Amino acid sequence: MVTEFDAIYYDGKTSARMAVHARTAGSVLLISGANVNLEVPFAEISVDAGISGVRRTLSLPGGAQLQTDDHAAVDTLFPHVNRLERGVHKLERYWGYAFGAVLVVTLFSWWGLTYGLPTTAKFVARVMPARIETLIGEQTLHAIDKSFCNPSALDAARQNRLRQDLAMVTAGLNDHYTYQLELRRCRGAGPNAFALPGGTIVMTDALAKLAENDQQITAVLAHEVGHVRHQHGLRLALQGAGGAALITALAGDAVSITGIAVMLPTLLLNTGYSREFETEADTYAFKRLKEIGSSPKYFAEILQRLEAAHAAEEQTANKDQHDKSGHSIAFDYLSTHPATAERIQRALAAQ
Amino acid sequence: METSSEGAGAHPEADSQRRYPVEFTAKTGEYFRIWIVNLALTILTLGIYSAWAKVRKKRYFYGHTRIDGEGFEYRANPVAILKGRIIAVGLFAIYSLTENFQPILHLALAFVLTVAIPWLIVRSLAFNAYNSAYRNIRFHFRGRYGEIIKTLFWYGLLTVLTLGLLYPYMKSRLARFIMGNHHYGETKFEVGNLARRYYGIYLKGLVLLVPTLIFMGIVIAMGMPLFKISKAGAVIFVVLVLYGSLLPLFAYGQSRINNLLWNSTTVGTLRFESRLRARDLMGLYFTNIIAIICTLALATPWAVVRTMRYRARKMTMVSTAALDNFIAAESAQVSATGEEIGEMFDIDIGW
């Protein structure tokens, strides 16, 4: 059977375009045009893989080329080349396969964000040497001190008392963390506490003043110790990086200012993850409080006080619009936490 | 399409000029299927397919970018790209892992990588050029290391010393280095003097920055009450405002620089007319971002295709002679200069 097709011939030496006609004769391809008359054995021709709407290229010996839009003829002539990409091209041509691909990508993204990424981050955090964790914690504290926190104004006795509270919470914990309490006055952070990787817990003076008794402080500290033991800080950072990478892989193509465009979904993602972590840290706190002979009820109490303080602060802020001294977004005790009422309920139920 | 209406003063040979609009024939649906199949296969092969995905994507866009009816060709071998990616990932892993374990090794690596940046830029440009062809004539990139080292490090240093005064000059040198060292076959890309007009663009950008910052400040200040309602919502608001207000500036810079570069370039008998408009780009990018966010990235192919279509539509090639007379570079010389080494590192550098 003779296969014929029209093509354009380029000799590979100049950009001159020559219209030619190609036709098979046994195991050779006959190429004829105004200034071209060639006989090329099939064995010496290599063909590129098909792509929708893109001209096929047949590379001839010596760097010459045939280009043709006749995909069918090329496929008939060279049925066995580029098996892999031929299969791929078939997938690319039909909406049915495209829909299947959408499913694969969607499922993977969903699985990756809800399970794969958190699990990987958890694993990486666990195998990461303690030294590194401590180092990251130290660097974070350094950054906090530089940007928005000042040394505590509490007197030495009070500070010692708070440190004893932490010592009590962590007594007998058989982990490799060196727990220490750092007290700070932080602009815009309000009554707040946060755990850094490696065991450092930062508490604001405002929170220390808000608590009515040591038990309430202990409850907050137990929650933060939960964060440390579950390596939440580290895992959040790892998950954020992984999520940003995933989003860049999906949409990075289209977006020239990728950085900013990726920031937004990553942020939402982290908010979701951190809610989960809060619940995890709460659960640890309830357990630990009972172990040290205290009660989750104090956790409920301090939460109630925090919420009341938050509401009061909001009222004053609304009254006096000018008195908003740069609110910190990342560390507010309440914003990223699950609904406070729900947490109070859980604490009371855990008694 | 013959035109002889060009200003006779600027182009004395206007009579024999022929204008070739750049055509872009990609279709959103077609590219969507290629894109989603690429993603799905990349996921299913644990990333290995990404090299093939890149080649198929580039072949699709190159083939659908046509001048005088002839499309461009992208010829890179996916295996070469895969090797480059494995090396890049390996280097990155070593680089990040040594950060805390082996600070000295890390510093040494950082130094080596910094020194290697000019080499990487040149190699990746050479790789990309060598694997691009039009009418079976390859492009080449023949930039000298000495020149880019001087531009990046020496003028980089001078930029710092002059408090940024030399920045537009450095950028113009870099752009000229990249554009002006490309060859189509044997024909060099000639780029006119850019420095003065680079200063013009940057100066106007600086002037535009003032109202931009004022606008940003006012809108963010107006949105402050949002912080009381939802911190996450407020952060999204701030990100959107930042993005929205910097977008005009970005679109301005991109369109002007792009136009300037192409309009100052000649390749033998060819010159180019680029007519990108800042407000068009702004509209495109803005709607792209919104669409991508609203469709959870599914609109990415649509965004990519329409942006490329717009860019092609605003680009015209003008030739004073037939396009048949470009000569390929000696192929022996190409393989001897070791441009294949560039295949090890597949990095896309834009300007």
Query: What confidence tens digit (pLDDT) does each residue in A192-202 have?
Result: 888 888 889 99
Calculate the CA dihedral of residues B29, B34, B39, B41 and round it to 10 degrees: 140
Question: Is residue A230 within 8 Å of B259, Cβ to Cβ?
Answer: no
| Residue bearing the bigger pLDDT, A174 or A293 | A293
Residue A351, SS3 per DSSP: coil
What's the pLDDT score for residue B343?
44
Boundaries of domain holding B45 = 31-344
Question: Is the confidence at residue A303, as pLDDT, over 50?
Answer: yes
Given this model, what pLDDT does residue B340 score? Answer: 43
Q: How far is B175 from chain A (nearest CA, A)?
A: 18
Q: Between A1 and A12, whose confidence is greater?
A: A12
Q: Give me the residues of A, 110-139, that contact B with CB < 8 A.
A: 129, 131-132, 135
**Mean pLDDT lowest among B1-10, B91-100, B194-203:** B1-10
Instruction: List the 68-87 stretch of A: residues with Cβ below 8 A of B.
Output: 84-85
B349 confidence band (pLDDT: 50, 70, 90): very low
Between positions 221 and 280 of B, the ones with CB within 8 A of A are 224, 227-228, 230-232, 234-236, 239-240, 242-243, 246-247, 250, 254
Q: Is the predicted pLDDT of residue B265 greater than 90, yes or no?
A: yes
CA distance A207 to A306: 8
> How far is the C-alpha of B8 from the C-alpha of B12, rounded, in Å?
5
Distance from CA of B136 to the nearest CA of A (A): 5
d(CA B41, CA B55): 14
Query: H/E element holding A203?
Result: strand A200-204
Q: Model's pTM, two decimal places? A: 0.80
Using the Cβ of A150 and the Cβ atoms of chain B, whether some distance falls under 8 Å is answered with: no
Q: What is the pLDDT of residue A14?
A: 92
- pLDDT above 80: residue A328: no
Answer whether B298 sits within 8 Å of A336, measured CB to CB. no
Residue A317's pLDDT band, with cuts at 50, 70 and 90, is: low
Question: What does the CA dihedral B23, B29, B35, B36 come to, rounded to 10 degrees?
Answer: 180
Confidence category of residue A249, pLDDT binned at 50, 70, 90: confident
Cα–Cα distance measured from residue A182 to residue A145, given in angstroms and rounded to the nearest whole number: 11
In the predicted structure, residue B9 carries a pLDDT above the cut 50: no
Name which of B40, B232, B324 is nearest A17 (Cβ-Cβ).
B324
List Cα–Cα distances, B173 to A273, B150, B253, in angstroms: 46, 10, 16
| Mean per-residue pLDDT of chain B | 84
| Closest alpha carbon within chain A to B63 | A54
Please check the confidence at residue B72 and state whether its pLDDT lies above 60.
Answer: yes
Please name the residues in contact with A161: beta carbons below 8 A apart, sequence gap of 6 or more.
Answer: A214
Flag whether B176 is in a domain: yes
Helices then strands (H, E): number in chain A? 12, 11
Query: Is residue B15 one of the residues assigned to a domain?
Result: no
> Averaged over A297-305, what is the pLDDT?
91
Find chain B residues with C-beta within 8 A of A68's C-beta: none
Look at chain B and report how many structural domains it folds into: 1
Query: pLDDT tier at A262 (50, 70, 90 boundaries)?
Result: low
Read off the tokens for A336.
């990223």
Residues of B in contact with A108 (CB under 8 A): 43
CA-to-CA separations, A92 to A195, A254, B112, B295, B307, in angstroms, rounded: 49, 20, 42, 21, 22
Per-residue pLDDT band at A341 (split at 50, 70, 90): confident
* Phi-psi domain of B233 (left: phi exceeds 0; alpha: psi -120 through 50; beta: other): alpha
The one-character DSSP state at A112 is I
For residue B8, what pLDDT is reported?
40
Which of B43, B227, B242 is nearest residue A327 as measured by Cβ atoms?
A: B227
Answer whether B33 sits within 8 Å of A98, measured CB to CB.
Answer: yes
Give the pLDDT band of residue B337 (cuts 50, 70, 90): very low
The pLDDT mean for chain A works out to: 84
- Residue B70's DSSP bridge partners are B67
A15 to B236: CB separation less than 8 angstroms, yes or no? no
Residue B307: list chain A partners with CB under 8 A.
Answer: 254
Question: Hey, what amino acid is at A235?
Answer: R
d(CA B316, CA B19): 7
Residues whose CB is less than 8 angstroms from the CB of residue B272 and which lie 6 or more positions away in sequence, other chains included: B262, B263, B265, B315, B316, B317, B318
Res B33 pLDDT > 90: yes
What φ, ψ does residue B281 adopt, rounded to 5°? -60, -40
Query: Phi and psi of B136, rounded to 5°?
Result: 60, 25
List pLDDT tens digits, range A8-58.
Answer: 999 999 999 999 999 999 889 999 998 889 999 988 999 998 899 999 999
Select the more confidently predicted residue: A173 or A265: A173
Instruction: Supply B178's token pair.
Output: 């990249």
- Going from N- to C-terminal start, the domains of chain A cover 4-82, 130-349
**Is the per-residue pLDDT at B336 higher than 50?**
no
User: CA nearest A74: which of A15, A163, A4?
Assistant: A4
- CA B129 from chain centre, in angstroms, equals 13
Q: Exposed/middle/buried for A232, CB within 10 Å: 0-12, 13-18, 19+? A: buried
* B34/A54 CB distance under 8 A: no
> Does residue B100 carry a pLDDT above 70?
no
Interface check for B182 against chain A (CB to CB < 8 A): the answer is: no
- Kindly state the average pLDDT of the residues B26-31: 96
Residues B65-79: what's their mean pLDDT? 92
Whether B347 has a pLDDT exceeding 70, the answer reads no
For the four alpha carbons of B315, B320, B324 and B327, in that order, the dihedral sign comes to negative
pLDDT at B65 over 70: yes
What is the reported pLDDT for A67?
95
Range name among A118-132, A298-312, B142-156, B319-333 with the lowest pLDDT average? B319-333
pLDDT computed for residue A316 by the predictor: 64
Q: Give per-residue pLDDT as tens, A205-214.
A: 989 999 999 9
CB burial readout B154-190, b (16+ within 10 A) else e: ebbeebeeeeeebbbbbbbbbbbbbbbbbbbbebbbe
- On whether residue B13 sits in a domain, the answer given is no
Write down the residue that tokens 């950054």 correspond to.
A143
- Within 10 angstroms of residue A322's Cβ, the number of other Cβ atoms is 6
**What is the per-residue pLDDT for B272?**
96
* ipTM tops the 0.85 cut: no
Beta bridge partners of B23: B66
Looking at residue A281, its pLDDT comes to 92
Distance CA B204, CA B211 (A): 12
Contact between residue A263 and residue B239 where contact means Cβ atoms under 8 Å apart: yes
Q: What is the pLDDT of residues B109-139, one digit of tens each?
A: 888 877 877 888 888 888 889 899 999 999 9
Pick among B32, B33, B64, B70 to test the A interface (most A CBs inside 10 A): B33
Share of chain A above pLDDT 70, in %: 86
Q: What percent of chain B has pLDDT over 90?
A: 49
**pLDDT reading at A64 higher than 60:** yes
Confidence of residue A338 (pLDDT cuts 50, 70, 90): low
Beta-carbon pairs below 8 A across chains A and B:
182
B69 inside domain: yes
- pLDDT of A258 > 60? The answer is no
Kindly indicate the confidence band of residue B271, based on its pLDDT and cuts at 50, 70 and 90: very high
**Residue B28, C-beta contacts closer than 8 angstroms, at least 6 positions apart:** B301, B302, B305, B306
Distance CA B244, CA B248 (A): 8
pLDDT band at B221 (very low <50, low <70, confident <90, very high): confident
CA A194 – CA A278 distance, rounded (Å): 11
Contacts of A100 in chain B (CB under 8 A): 40
What is the C-alpha to C-alpha distance for residues A120 and B17, in angstroms, rounded to an integer? 61
- State in words which class domain A4-82 has: mainly beta
Residue recorded with tokens 């380029």: A10
Determine the 3-state secondary structure of A280 from DSSP.
Answer: helix
pLDDT of residue A311: 75
